[in-house]
Amino acid sequence: MTSPAKISTSNASRYARYGLSLPIQTLRALEKRGIYCQPSVSIEHQHLARRYVLRGVESGGAVADMGRYCGYLDAEGNPAPWLQQIDSISGNGRHAIVIAPELVRIEMLRIRHTYELAITQLWLKFEEGHTRPAIVTAPLFRGHQGTLAVELWNAENKSLRGTVTPLFYTAAGEMLNLPDRFDEAIRNISGAVACPGCKHTHVAVAPATNKGGEP
């Protein structure tokens, strides 16, 4: 697993707001295919609770030759409960809003059989002399140019979505072990980047309800 200590501070800061750093050609290709993924995280203030929180948007989807998706977990790697779901006609866009003081963002890009994966922990930190906190980030895993032979985007392989993951290797050709606590999330997001016209969440879950049936 990639160690946070081996990733520079500048790279960590880049992940905090924008997620994977993609070439302009890739971003244009995603836009052309109608895939909208919003990995940026914002700081919001809850006036009634008198606290700051992070706001993330689970979003993305796929077409046959490309896919991009981001979702959010809690610090232990469990799916974050969504505040609200977002419905759309076209798909491959926004699916849910997630709010929490601390989040783990999982983001994946697929170009045919080649995958990029970034898992990043984000939380808020107050600094002396500032009333508004800053986002602090720690990269937890980075997989480059992973590969998965199964064409999950084909209808005949739909049942395999959420059950398999790409393989990632070091520069020396040794296989990277995926972090165990994120195993389910990695499997789910691998299916998400191969879900054509995606209109549902792959990572976030419905919030728990009390006895009265209200969240």
pLDDT for 79: 95
Strands 51-62 and 94-100 come out as: antiparallel
pLDDT tens track, the chain, 215 positions: 333 433 344 444 555 567 898 999 999 999 999 999 999 999 999 999 999 999 999 999 999 999 999 999 998 899 999 999 999 888 999 999 999 999 999 999 999 999 999 999 999 998 887 889 999 999 999 999 999 999 999 999 999 999 999 999 999 999 999 999 999 999 999 999 999 999 999 999 999 874 444 44
The domain locations on the chain are: 4-192
Q: Specify the pTM.
A: 0.88
Q: For position 122, what pLDDT does the model report?
A: 95
- Classified by CATH at the fold level, domain 4-192 comes out as Immunoglobulin-like (2.60.40)
Q: Which helix (H) or strand (E) holds 1?
A: none
| Angle at CA of residue 203, ends 200 and 58, nearest 5° | 65
142 CB contacts (<8 Å, ≥6 apart)? 2, 7, 117, 118, 119
In this predicted structure, what is the pLDDT of residue 208? 83
Q: What is the pLDDT of residue 130?
A: 83
